[in-house]
């Protein structure tokens, strides 16, 4: 149980770090523009591994439950340290899994800002897990060195060291009696099944052919033009401005400025690209976009060879009204100022009059309802 849980938490932690670094890139961080689907995979794995960890954690806690309240509660300094790290581990992992799950449903019954808190707490959980693994390594090694059927049942009140000793000294073929009516095999089997069911319940929001089993997916590919909507034009307060015939896109490049109407944009050479929207909340959907290549648009304004690019939305407020695109993605041939989606003009909820779509990026950085584009030197 511990090993399965350890693997799912590690996958979840690492894919979470990747997502954080893409959104807040440290100078040393390298994230490519290709393959275009990589973030879709890492963020899908983040949410699926987190959901799988929930039943595994419940079974693991159930199996050690009496120990958590063992006596003495405090004890000597070493015991205090061990119990302290377990309390921190259990608390932080429960916190991460619960807040993460709620975030996939965009349900925030708390006052703190999800992203920052979830990120900070990840280090607490990972640190506590590392300490816990270091302490338990001898037991893990002894317990996993024999086939399942040959192992004796752990006795809940038995100290770990004594259990490890029993495992070592029990003769082969002797063990496998059950405790409390449930064999180890049955517990592991049930936990494994629960984990698979939980994983399948969310996997369909990113893996199309699993859609029909995904009862837990908040957005399984439903939405206008075949793509879910994360924030509607009405929610963002842009409806009128987006439909305004006086709309202009202001583009700054190479020290020059130029305004474009939507008709101007449509008159420029159009490019098609198949790219996914991959939301940090775990859902993703691939789609066929068409519009003006970003590098062509910038070159139409002024000189542009490379450089980070900043995007601003018509949206008056909100956390996601601007985004920055690193140079590597800005020069990529499939990065578009999109006008059309799956063969139709963008609906206003998908970003009409135009939106950014770039390869291998989190959805949150694919700014809708563009108002300005500016090359940062």
Q: Which residue has the tokens 């068409």?
A: 290
Q: How far apart are CA 176 and CA 187, in angstroms?
A: 13
Would the CA dihedral through 191, 122, 108, 110 be positive or negative?
positive
Distances (CA, A) of 252 to 200, 218, 299, 304, 311: 46, 38, 10, 10, 11
Output the smallest distance, CB 321 to ligand MTE, in A: 5
Q: CB–CB of 359/275 below 8 Å?
A: yes
152 vs 228 by CB, closer to Mo ion: 228
Output the smallest distance, CB 361 to Mo ion, in A: 11
Output the smallest distance, CB 322 to ligand MTE, in A: 8
Rounded to the nearest angstrom, the gap between the alpha carbon of residue 145 and the centroid of all alpha carbons in its chain is 34
Q: Which of 5, 368, 371, 375 binds ligand MTE (CB under 6 A)?
A: 368
Q: How far apart are CA 263 and CA 66, in angstroms?
A: 70
Residue 357, interface with Mo ion (CB under 5 A)?
no
Q: Residue 94: exposed, middle, or buried by beta-carbon count in 10 A (0-12, 13-18, 19+)?
A: middle
Residue 323, interface with Mo ion (CB under 5 A)?
no
The partner in contact with residue 15, picked from Mo ion, ligand MTE, none with C-beta cut-offs of 5 to 8 angstroms by kind, is none
Q: Which residue has the tokens 């090359």?
A: 375
Output the smallest distance, CB 361 to ligand MTE, in A: 10
Binding-site size for Mo ion (CB under 5 A) equals: 4
Residue 279, interface with Mo ion (CB under 5 A)?
yes
Q: Which of 200, 227, 309, 348 binds ligand MTE (CB under 6 A)?
A: 227
Q: How far apart are CA 99 and CA 105, in angstroms?
A: 10
Q: How far apart are CA 202 and CA 150, in angstroms?
A: 36
The partner in contact with residue 11, picked from ligand MTE, Mo ion, none with C-beta cut-offs of 5 to 8 angstroms by kind, is none
Q: Which of 230, 271, 313, 366 binds Mo ion (CB under 5 A)?
A: 230
Q: How far apart are CA 222 and CA 285, in angstroms?
A: 10
15 vs 92 by CB, closer to ligand MTE: 15
Distances (CA, A) of 289 to 24, 52, 119, 150, 205: 26, 33, 32, 58, 20
Output the smallest distance, CB 323 to Mo ion, in A: 12
Residue 152, interface with Mo ion (CB under 5 A)?
no
Residue 279, interface with ligand MTE (CB under 6 A)?
yes
277 vs 331 by CB, closer to ligand MTE: 277
Output the smallest distance, CB 211 to ligand MTE, in A: 16
Cross-sheet strand order for the sheet of 322-325:
256-260, 249-253, 370-375, 309-313, 322-325
Positions 184 through 213 that interact with Mo ion (CB under 5 A): none
Positions 301 through 360 that interact with ligand MTE (CB under 6 A): 313, 315, 318, 320-321, 350-351
Residue 277, interface with ligand MTE (CB under 6 A)?
yes
Binding-site size for ligand MTE (CB under 6 A) equals: 21
Which window, 103-111, 153-161, 243-251, 364-372, contacts ligand MTE (CB under 6 A)?
364-372
Which window, 36-44, 132-140, 155-163, 361-369, contacts ligand MTE (CB under 6 A)?
361-369
Residue 63, interface with Mo ion (CB under 5 A)?
no
Residues with Cβ < 8 Å from 82, sequence gap 6 or more?
135
Q: How far apart are CA 163 and CA 205, in angstroms?
A: 43
Q: Which of 63, 206, 217, 230 binds ligand MTE (CB under 6 A)?
A: 230
Q: Which residue has the tokens 């082969």?
A: 172
The footprint of ligand MTE (CB under 6 A) covers 227-231, 236, 277, 279, 313, 315, 318, 320-321, 350-351, 363-364, 366-369
The footprint of Mo ion (CB under 5 A) covers 230, 279, 363-364
């Amino acid at each position: 149980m511990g090993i399965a849980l350890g693997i799912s938490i590690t996958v979840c932690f690492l894919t979470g770090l990747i997502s954080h670094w893409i959104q807040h890139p440290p100078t040393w961080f390298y994230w490519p523009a290709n393959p275009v689907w990589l973030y879709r995979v890492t963020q899908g794995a983040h949410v699926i591994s987190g959901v799988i960890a929930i039943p595994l954690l419940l079974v693991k806690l159930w199996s050690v439950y009496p120990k958590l309240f063992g006596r003495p509660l405090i004890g000597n300094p070493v015991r205090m340290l061990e119990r302290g790290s377990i309390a921190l581990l259990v608390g932080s992992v429960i916190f991460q899994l619960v807040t993460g799950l709620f975030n996939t449903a965009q349900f925030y019954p708390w006052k703190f800002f999800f992203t920052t808190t979830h990120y900070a707490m990840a280090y607490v959980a990972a640190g506590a897990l590392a300490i816990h693994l270091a302490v338990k390594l001898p037991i893990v090694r002894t317990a996993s060195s024999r086939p399942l059927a040959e192992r004796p049942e752990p006795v809940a009140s038995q100290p770990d060291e004594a259990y490890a000793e029993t495992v070592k000294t029990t003769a082969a073929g002797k063990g496998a009696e059950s405790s409390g009516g449930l064999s180890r095999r049955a517990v592991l089997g049930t936990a494994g099944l629960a984990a698979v069911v939980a994983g399948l319940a969310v996997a369909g929001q990113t893996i199309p052919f699993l859609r029909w089993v995904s009862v837990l997916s908040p957005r399984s590919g439903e939405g206008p033009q075949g793509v879910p909507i994360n924030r509607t034009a009405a929610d963002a307060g842009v409806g009128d401005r987006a439909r305004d015939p006086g709309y202009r896109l202001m583009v700054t490049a190479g020290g020059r400025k130029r305004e474009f109407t939507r008709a101007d944009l449509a008159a420029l050479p159009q490019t098609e690209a198949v790219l996914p929207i991959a939301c940090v909340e775990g859902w993703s959907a691939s789609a066929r976009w068409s519009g003006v290549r970003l590098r062509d648009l910038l070159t139409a304004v002024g000189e542009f060879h490379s450089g980070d690019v900043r995007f601003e939305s018509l949206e008056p407020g909100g956390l996601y009204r601007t985004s920055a695109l690193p140079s590597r993605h800005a020069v990529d041939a499939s990065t578009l100022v999109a006008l059309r989606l799956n063969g139709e003009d963008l609906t206003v909820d998908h970003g009409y009059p135009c939106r950014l779509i770039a390869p291998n990026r989190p959805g949150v950085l694919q700014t809708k309802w563009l108002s300005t584009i500016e090359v940062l030197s």
